[in-house]
Amino acid sequence: MLSEVVTDALLPVYATFPLRAVSGHGSWLVDDEGHEWLDAYGGHAVASSGHSHPDVVAAIADQAAKLIFYSTAVPHAGREQLAETLARLSPDPLGRVFFCNSGAEANENQLGLARRKTGRTQVVTMRGGWHGRTAATLACTDGERYEAGARRAGVSLSRKVPFNDVGALEQAMDDTIAAILLEPVQGFSGARTATQEFLQAARSLCDRHGAKLLFDEVQCGVGRTGTFTAAEQFGVVPDAIAMAKGLAAGLPIGAVIAVSSLVDDIKVGDLGSTFGGGPVPCAAALANIAVIEREDLLANVRTVSEQIVSEAAKLPDVVRVHGRGFLLGLELNRPAADVQRALWQHRVLTGASTDPRTLRLLPPLSFAPDEAALLLQALRAVLV
Ligand SMILES: Cc1ncc(COP(=O)(O)O)c(C=O)c1O
């Protein structure tokens, strides 16, 4: 099993998995020795309809052959259809869409919209929250190394409150706050789920103080929790949602889906992105969403998640299973990194988290019952 990056030309920014990928299909990656790996990390939560779904591949090839790119300066049907699709699939009255290229950029833009609308700067975010690596999103992300990056850029840090602590949130809110930014299901912190009570309190505190409620669904959105948006499971409608990762099943895309009152004064030139809303990522996203709907992948997420949660909870060393749908965190009573490494011997990929004892599972939405059984079998073999 080869893992090292073999060139110094590439900065060593991620801890790498011990394979060199050559191809992928569904929940599987194929390495350069022809071995198949079960991808319960879902291509970094991106391969929502699986790796290289034939419909997504065909849509990309078809669009690329017709027109690879023009910016939003030239209207394009695919961009308009995708905006309408996201509006249709998001809770009312979320329905105005801005496209960019990544999760951080989507968060940066929704923060910018909230600051623009309120004329305020300060933001409240959560302990355990993770929002990206631009200066503004680093300032909102929990963790000294991220906050240090924002400080170096001269950006003031968000006010961070313990997740699900209504009292602390009330304390942090006042009439200088532009927005609360949070993940309804925190990803990197180990799939920690917001309580309904906490999200309802966040909504009413924003309303009381004239602030905007922003959901970061970059990781938990696009069906990963078993509904298209995570928001709809909590009966709370934010002023905007950021999506990215799973939206185009692997092509770079980010989207802010906002309520009209947040964006009603946006004029030509106020927002922009050369590549945002490009024809090829939009075609990939439309094909990906069509697969999710046609193959009823949200129902698959819900049923197969139940299978994983109920079986995983019985495993030795599993203290608790966190999360929803296919954003799960197995809290263990031993280091998750050891378990993650041991699973490599079974050619199974899983994710780490900022909690050293939580192993993160983010399989493709198409992860089938027999694939879940293989994952559980590998976990059973490792957690003895
Ligand atoms: C919840 C959340 N927000 C934002 C981001 C940043 O997204 P990107 O890496 O596309 O900028 C991530 C990436 O992991 C994420 O999980």
pLDDT tens-digit readout, 364-383 = 999 999 999 999 999 999 99
Q: Whose CA is nearest to atom 4 of ligand 1?
A: 131
In whole angstroms, what is the distance from residue 129 CA to residue 354 CA? 10
CATH topology of domain 55-294: Aspartate Aminotransferase; domain 2 (3.40.640)
Q: Please give the distance, rounded to the nearest whole angstrom, from the Cα atom of residue 122 to the centre of ligand 1.
A: 21
Q: Does residue 302 have a pLDDT over 80?
A: yes
Q: Please give the distance, rounded to the nearest whole angstrom, from the Cα atom of residue 350 to the centre of ligand 1.
A: 17
Q: Does residue 143 have a pLDDT over 80?
A: yes
Q: Does residue 123 have a pLDDT over 80?
A: yes
Q: What is the pLDDT of residues 12-49, one digit of tens each?
A: 999 999 999 999 999 999 999 999 999 999 999 999 99
Residues lining ligand 1, judged by CB closer than 6 Å? Answer: 102-104, 107, 130-132, 183, 187-188, 216, 218-219, 244
In whole angstroms, what is the distance from residue 350 CA to residue 224 CA? 15
Q: Please give the distance, rounded to the nearest whole angstrom, from the Cα atom of residue 372 to the centre of ligand 1.
A: 25
In whole angstroms, what is the distance from residue 370 CA to residue 376 CA? 10
- Asked if 142 and 130 count as a contact pair (C-beta separation under 8 A), the reply is yes
* Pocket mutation for ligand 1, best pick of 218, 273, 354, 362 (most atoms within 8 Å of C-beta): 218
In whole angstroms, what is the distance from residue 127 CA to residue 108 CA? 18
- Asked if 224 and 253 count as a contact pair (C-beta separation under 8 A), the reply is no
Q: Does residue 4 have a pLDDT over 70?
A: no
- Asked if 205 and 150 count as a contact pair (C-beta separation under 8 A), the reply is no
Q: Global pTM?
A: 0.98
CATH topology of domain 21-52+296-382: Aspartate Aminotransferase, domain 1 (3.90.1150)
CA distances (Å), 84 to each of 11, 156, 223, 291, in order?
A: 39, 36, 17, 17
Listed in sequence order, the DSSP H helices in the chain are: 42-45, 54-66, 77-89, 103-118, 135-140, 144-152, 166-172, 196-209, 260-263, 279-294, 297-312, 336-344, 369-382
Q: Please give the distance, rounded to the nearest whole angstrom, from the Cα atom of residue 219 to the centre of ligand 1.
A: 7
Atom of ligand 1 nearest to the CA of 107: 4
What are the domain boundaries of the chain?
21-52+296-382, 55-294
Q: Does residue 3 have a pLDDT over 60?
A: no
Q: What is the mean pLDDT of the chain?
A: 97
Q: Does 5 or 124 have the greater pLDDT score? A: 124
3-state DSSP call for residue 213?
A: strand
